[in-house]
Amino acid sequence: MLFPLSSGSRLRFCLGLPLLLAFVVAASTTAFAQNSPPQASGNLKTSSHRILSLQQAIEMTLAENPQLHQFKVKKEGLVGRRESEELRPIVNMVIDVENFAGSGELNGARAAETTVALSSVIEFGGKRRARISAADAQLQLLDSHRQAFTLDILGELTSTFIQVLEVQERITLAKEAHDLSRITLSAVKNRSEQGAAPEYEVKRAAAALRQAQLYLEAQQHQQQRLLIKLAAYWGETSPNWKRVDGDLYAFGEVSDYVTLYDRVKASPTITVFANEARLKKAEVSLAKSQSVTDLGWQVGVRRFEDSGDTAFTAGVSVPLFSGKRNRGAVKSALAAENDVEYARQTALLKLHVQLFEAYSQRQQHVAAVAAFRSTILPDLNLALTAIQRAYERGRYSYQEWTAAQKELLDAKRALIDNATAASLNQAVIEQLIGEPLLAVESFR
């Protein structure tokens, strides 16, 4: 994933997720535990700076993104449920009146029998402990989902940030193409005035300049759309910055695929399955505890109105065949526990495919970027310079000159495409493993 680093007096954007995982876990855990949603630092949303760093974008997203705050509400609900599960069985008070308002000797209340009693249940089989364990497991699972979801949101944020960097590079290239078209039009006009070039070549050059202007405007509009999309991650609708700070071409070296896949196995995505397995195990224990019969009890005092005497009453109740009635619930809980392991294995296989695709594509595009920058672009630049001079001397045609321009511009666009693809695939890798690919020192 992309992360800004301190370099001299400015923040430098580079590929890699240095310290991001620790930052995400610490920052989002704090936000998750607080009673009220945290607010972004005032200087972030009211900053007069015209350039946005990824670090600022991450901080504002963690502080303001409503999708992240939903976990605070869910946690409050689970904490309340745990408090309920922690309670012991309720004690009931029973008032019972018998033998009144009858006929004959039982007329009125002279022969009434009034009983005041307390009743409750004695739980066996560790039911209360099993309920608390299940509630704790639900809280742990929610925290795992929060961490994984936070990384997903930051992964999407990073991808959008990369797209903004991409369009900035395209705007720079579009300006270069526009300047090149303007120079070409001027040179063609000069040759036309000297009678060395036909008038239609002037018109073609003018049309090419107008198309270059339209392409530049299109990229500028795309930049505005992406900036709005980026600001939406923290709920801002009118961003006051115009650019983002970063280097689209900083890749560095990464570990081999086997090492990366080992790190996937310990990623937050897989941790979710571990905590879900703990929850299912706790639910199995809870279901088994329900098979153990509880003992209901009642004690009280009874008053006989006809004699004025009182006597104690006591009783117990035991449900019959409760173990047999709960076998289905136990089987269902065991099946759900086993299903988690199969889901984990399925997820690992999918992550294996996704990771290899991202790893392979990153390697491919990084190699392509190196080739474009080391040989292809220098050769095309030299060729364009030579052809332009030859055209001005009348040795080459307009078509040959514009073809050389197109080859160079197409190569530069391909360079941007490959750099963007390498950056996006690197962000995918880091999102899958939940760790930085590159060391911080690599970019100091």
Give per-residue pLDDT as tens, 161-219.
999 999 999 999 999 999 999 999 999 999 888 888 899 999 999 999 999 999 999 99
As a whole number of angstroms, the distance between CA 417 and CA 385 comes to 24
- Domain-by-domain residue ranges, the chain? 2-88+137-271+349-443
DSSP state letter for 308: T
Give the per-residue pLDDT at 47.
42
* Residue 396 φ then ψ, to 5°: -120, 155
Q: What is the mean pLDDT of the chain?
A: 83
Helix residue spans in 232-314 (DSSP H)? 257-264, 268-289
User: What CATH class is the domain 2-88+137-271+349-443?
Assistant: mainly alpha
Give per-residue pLDDT as tens, 381-437.
999 999 999 988 888 899 999 999 999 999 999 999 999 999 999 999 988 988 766
How many Å separate Cα 444 from the centre of its chain? Answer: 28
Indicate the helix (H) or strand (E) that contains 265. Answer: none
pTM for the full model?
0.77
CB 61 within 8 A of CB 234: yes
Give per-residue pLDDT as tens, 101-110.
766 666 767 7
Give the per-residue pLDDT at 103.
67
Give the per-residue pLDDT at 225.
95
Q: How many residues appear in the chain?
A: 444
* Region of residue 126 (left: phi > 0; alpha: psi -120 to 50; beta: else): left
Closest CA to 292 of 423, 99, 434, 121: 121
As a whole number of angstroms, the distance between CA 341 and CA 30 comes to 31
Averages of pLDDT over each 10 residues, the chain, 444 residues: 35 39 42 39 47 90 90 90 88 86 69 87 87 90 90 92 96 96 93 87 94 96 95 90 90 86 88 86 82 85 83 86 75 86 91 94 95 96 94 89 95 97 92 67 30
Tokens of 273: 């399955």
Give the SS3 label for residue 95: strand
